[in-house]
Structure formats: structure tokens, C-alpha cells
Structure 1
Amino acid sequence: MRTQALGLGYYLPERILTNQELEKMVDTSDQWIVERTGIRERHIVGPGEKNSDLSVEAARRALQDAKLDPLQLDLIIVATASPDMPFPSTACILQALLGAKNAAAFDLAAGCTGFVYAMTVAEKFLLSPDYNYILVVGCDVVSSVIDYTDRNTCILFGDGAGAMVFGKSEGKCGILSTKIGADGTGGQLLYMPAGGSALPATHETVEKRLHYLRMNGNEIFKFATKIVAEVSQELLEKAGLTYDDIDLFVPHQANLRIILSAMRRMKLPPEKVAINLDHCGNISAGSIPVALAQYLEKYSLKSGANILMVAFGTGLTYGGAVLRWGRD
């Protein structure tokens, strides 16, 4: 039995924040941003727009693609680091919005690696006879925790949601291998200091701007280039494949230089790589499903195509999956 992708959908907020607009907010330039990141613009939420608003649109599109009714769902997993609120979970809010009353629901926090973490969890649940259809959503409203006076972070991130519906299959298509891991010693490289039990919200934490994301970009870059290569190799070995067997590589959309480094290592041509960070930026847990969905809007993948997905994020976390595309 394999865990098969039955449906895919995504949603991006309408508002677009360009590099030219950021030039007016912080000491930066379009040229500086593009040269160092590859990003030209990103989508961000409008006033009052929240995580569950994006998640429900992506989820509905994935369910429509899968030709499933929300009542058929057994479980909803929302991978996010920016939920509507600390509790209840955004997954429970989404369950109510969809009318998926038969589904259990919970959030999963693994930062930018969240979607592949949630995929892996879904695969394990589907080994049980109690679960037949699982909705996995990767959604982040990173703009809600971005300091738009910090030019090192505000240029990188956008908002968005991607969703996939998974089910069981006895065919050849589906998840061939997964890998998730973490290195908690790097937790201080990408974090938000306040808002939890360590530093509950006070006037002082707000005044000190402790409710915004903080990142050591140089160390994250070093970690990412190393871990993407290691995870990719392990995933392919577990799946019994080589780089030559990969039809599409879907990397986490953090930085174009990281993606190009991985492409060189794998000797992959541009047409075999999904890249959307130029117009989406880094949308954290939504990164991989949105990149895949947008690739499939432009290009077709034959049934049986091998897709390699790899991500890394706060924690530090890392992981990936090899998915044989198609439904059989």
C-alpha cells in the first residue's frame, strides 16, 4: 500500500509587495535583493486576512481536485508557524470552515519544513485502517511576524497556502520515501523571542520588538546548502533511485543561491526544477505545495514522474519526500 496524492490546491493573497515598495521602507534596493535572493515580489495578506482564510481556499481547491467531499476527510493537519491564534488550532478552525465534521484536526509546527513533516505524519496515519483520506495544508502568514524595519528579513518572506489530499493506493504511484529530522542546537538561528511561556507578551516585549522573527542568515545558508544535499541523497537511496531518475525537483523556496547550489550538485537542468520565489518569496510551510502547484499550471507531468521535495527551517528542522506522481 502506498500513500497517494489525490488532489492539490493553493491560494495566495491578492496584495503584492514589490522590491520597489520595500526600497521606500528600508535601506535596500531591487538590485541588492534580486542579486542576493532572487526575489522580486511577494504576496502578503490584506487588513483582517488571516491564516485560516488562506488555508480554506487552498483546501477547497485541493478537495475539488481530488473530487472529495469534506465529510470524507478523516484527518486535517495544518503545518504552520503563524496560526490564527495560539489556540484553538488553525486545523480545528479549518475543519469548521470546511464542514469536515468527521475529521480529527491538529496543527504541526516545523517552520518551513512543516509541509513535508505533515506529509510524513499523514503517510503513517494512512497505514491504519481508521484513516482513508487526509488533508495536509501548509500555510503561513509570515508578514504577521516580520519587522519591516529590518532589511535582512523583511525582503525574504511572503504569505500563502498550499494543500494536498492524500489517500491509499495499491498502485505504483505515491510516496516512495520520506525523511524528517532536526538539530535543536540551531534553534537560536531562526526564532521569535516573545509570545510564548518563556516571554509572555508585555508592554516591554512589544517595545523591544521581541514579537518579530529573528534570523542569522549566514548560518542558515550554510546549514541549508549542506542539509539539502544530504537529505536528497538519503531520500533517493531509500526510494531506489538516482538523480537521473528525478523528473522534478521541488526545493524549499528560501533563496535562489541555495536552489542553484543544489541543482549543480544534482546536475539538474532548469526545466526539472520548480522555482517560484521570484514572485512569492519564502512562504514557509506553504513553500513546497505552492511551488509544485504553480509548476503544474505551466507544465505537465506524466503519470509515474518522480518528484523530489526537500525543505529546511526553524528548529532547525529538515526533511523531504520522493513522490511518484499520478493516481492509479
Structure 2
Amino acid sequence: MRKAPCYAQITGCGHDTPERVVANHQLEERWSLPQGWIKRRTGIEQRSWAKPDQAVSDMAIAAGIRALTDADLDPGRVDLVILATSTPDYLLPPTAPFVAAKMGCTNAGAFDLAGACCGFLYGLSMAESHVALRHQVVLVIGANLLSRRLKPDDPATACLFADAAGAVVLQPSETPTGLLGVAQGANGAQWDTIMIAEGGSRANFGAGTWKRRGHLMTMKNGGSLFREAVHDMATVGRQAMADAALQMDAIDWWIPHQANGRLIEEARKALDVPVEKTQNRVARFGNSSAATIPLVLSVAVAEGEIQRGQTLLLTAVGAGMLRMGLVWSF
């Protein structure tokens, strides 16, 4: 029998970043670039990259455990673990079951979600429905280890991307909270704008993969990609607020996907978000794709900026030209 709907409340947040911090000057020296070139173009000052013996599951587990601790929740009470990642430990099996087992979530189902930069928001939306209808506890993690998918001689991508994980615990609640509005979309005609070309069923690893560097990330049409991302970020934000029947004055904080500083600023202007309502931490953390929003959320909660009862606007645009916006009562 289907249970009566309830509300989904975020009761715990956690995050993890590798200890190894790579500052801009280290990369600018490597590429013989003028001092300050990276920050002027991206707004990023540093990023964390994993050590050779680290995998994405290591960060996901650490972030998940911290979220469970923050929620004061025994891992055995988790019913479902959703891991949003584009860089799993292996192509097969999924990484989420391993993460769940290592955290002690012995009663939980678990699956990976490949939604690129929008992955965490898709996972959060799915988790909210699961909690509301099934009255179960869900742990949502966004984690990526992108430093091993970068071309080391390509400043256009290698200076942007970082490694990180962020996690939230969702529990049933009688208090009106959780998802207020949602908007989503995709432009599949530009599916290949950001991609890793080889290793899938369309183009498997071959003898020339490593020479062609087909296992590494490529990004093309940078100017048009930037303009479309700004437009889509603003559009999906407005659509999510309209779905929630709210105006910007009802939003306490905007947490955009931390793609780069210029994109955040242009999208902020297009969406007409006040600077003081914007969570922009890209200078410190860089772009870790699906991990950026839960990472920023966890840091902002830990630092006392985001508080209970506030209304959040979350927006993301990414590979596959996916886009998603959520309005969430925290």
C-alpha cells in the first residue's frame, strides 16, 4: 500500500576535498602563462587534485560519513544511496554499492547517476520523491575525480576542473520543507560539446586510444558554449522559481554550479540575483562538476551562512547540455 506523502528534509551535509592543493602559479609556470592569467579568465585561484592512490569513492565515502554524522544518523538507517558521478572507480560495477558498504549502509539500495554537472540536482530531485512517497532515508552524494581526465597541456580545461565530493542526508519530516519548484531540460543536439570520446560502447578503448588521448576530456566551441550555458542557467532558474510561484525576493541564497567565475557572474546578472545572495566559492574549489553544489552547500552551512528555514535556488548546466533548477526550502 502506498503511504501518504510527507516532506523531505535535508538533515545533514558533508563534503571532502583532497589535501593536495594546486595554486594557479604552479599551472601558469608549467604552461609559461602570464601571472594572473587563470584568475582573470576563470575566477579560480586554486583547486584540489587527488593523490595517485585516491579514487572517487574515497571522497564520496568521506563526504557521506560527514553528512551522516551531521544528521546524527546511524548508517544502517539509510535506505538508498545515490552517487552522482562522471568518474566512477570502474566502468563496471557501479561505485555506489561499494560506497554504501564502506559507510556501513548495510540496508541500503545504491546506484550511480551519470548526469554530469546536473547530476547532483537530478539525484536530489529523485531522492525527494523517494522520501516523500516511501518515507525512507536517502543519502545523495555528488563526487568527481576530474584531474585524471584532463589533458595536461590544455589550459582551457586543465585550469578549470577539480576533485571533490559533497553529500546530503534526506529524511522524512512533518515540517513543510524540501522541494518547492523544479525545471529541467537538455539540448541533445550539442551532446558532444564536452566529452570523453573513448571508452564507451560507441567508441571503445583501442590500440590508439592513449596516443589520441581519447580517454581525456575535450571541450569545443568555447564561446558559444559559454553563451548557451549563461542563457540556460538563467532560464532554468526563472522556470524553477515560476514552478514554485516565487520571485527572487523570496530566495535567500542562489547556489549555481561552480563552472567558472565569469559564467557565474554573467548568469547572476541575467537572472538578476543580488551579489549578496550568491554563493560563489569557485575561487577556492574550482569546478568539480556534480560535486560543486553539495560542496558549496555543505561549506556554507558549516560556516553559518545557510540556515534552517531559508529558501535556496539551485541551478546547473553541463555536459550533454543538460540543465536543471530547483527551489528548495532548507
- Shorter-chain TM range is over 0.9
Once residues 127 and 315 of structure 1 are traced to their aligned partners in structure 2, the CA distance between those partners, rounded to angstroms, is 29
TM-score scaled to structure 1, two decimals? 0.95
Once residues 29 and 307 of structure 1 are traced to their aligned partners in structure 2, the CA distance between those partners, rounded to angstroms, is 38
Moved more, 154-163 or 212-221: 212-221
* Runs of 5+ consecutive residues of structure 2 not aligned to the other structure: 1-5
Instruction: Confirm or deny that 1:192 pairs with 2:196.
Output: yes
Q: Which of 176, 181, 188 matches 2:180? A: 176
Letter in 2 for 1:316: M
Instruction: Confirm or deny that 1:57 pairs with 2:65.
Output: no
CA contact (8 A) 1:192 1:214 kept: yes
Task: Render the CA deviation track for 1:276-300: whole Å, top value 9, x for unaligned.
Answer: 1101110101000111222223333
Query: Where do residues 1-328 of structure 1 align in structure 2 (5 Å cutoff)?
Result: 1-129=6-134, 131-216=135-220, 217-325=222-330
Distance 1:8 1:224, change over 3 A: same
Q: CA deviation at 1:302?
A: 4.0
Structure 1 vs Structure 2 CA RMSD: 1.4
CA contact (8 A) 1:19 1:29 kept: no
Aligned positions, number: 324
CA contact (8 A) 1:139 1:286 kept: yes
Once residues 126 and 8 of structure 1 are traced to their aligned partners in structure 2, the CA distance between those partners, rounded to angstroms, is 17
Q: CA deviation at 1:176?
A: 1.1
Once residues 319 and 307 of structure 2 are traced to their aligned partners in structure 1, the CA distance between those partners, rounded to angstroms, is 34
Q: CA deviation at 1:68?
A: 0.9
SS of the aligned residue for 1:320 comes to strand
CA contact (8 A) 1:25 1:148 kept: no
SS of the aligned residue for 1:136 comes to strand
Letter in 1 for 2:226: F
Q: CA deviation at 1:266?
A: 3.7
Task: Render the CA deviation track for 1:134-159: whole Å, top value 9, x for unaligned.
Answer: 00000000111111111111010000
Letter in 1 for 2:178: G
Once residues 234 and 170 of structure 1 are traced to their aligned partners in structure 2, the CA distance between those partners, rounded to angstroms, is 27
Once residues 283 and 182 of structure 1 are traced to their aligned partners in structure 2, the CA distance between those partners, rounded to angstroms, is 20
Identity %: 35
Distance 1:141 1:67, change over 3 A: same
Q: CA deviation at 1:323?
A: 1.1
SS of the aligned residue for 1:78 comes to strand
Once residues 34 and 131 of structure 2 are traced to their aligned partners in structure 1, the CA distance between those partners, rounded to angstroms, is 48
Once residues 120 and 324 of structure 1 are traced to their aligned partners in structure 2, the CA distance between those partners, rounded to angstroms, is 13
Q: CA deviation at 1:27?
A: 4.3
Instruction: Find runs of 4+ consecutive structure 1 residues off by over 6 angstroms.
Output: none
* Runs of 5+ consecutive residues of structure 1 not aligned to the other structure: none
Q: CA deviation at 1:227?
A: 0.6
CA contact (8 A) 1:28 1:151 kept: no
Distance 1:198 1:246, change over 3 A: same
Once residues 30 and 214 of structure 2 are traced to their aligned partners in structure 1, the CA distance between those partners, rounded to angstroms, is 20
CA contact (8 A) 2:301 2:307 kept: no
Once residues 184 and 32 of structure 2 are traced to their aligned partners in structure 1, the CA distance between those partners, rounded to angstroms, is 37
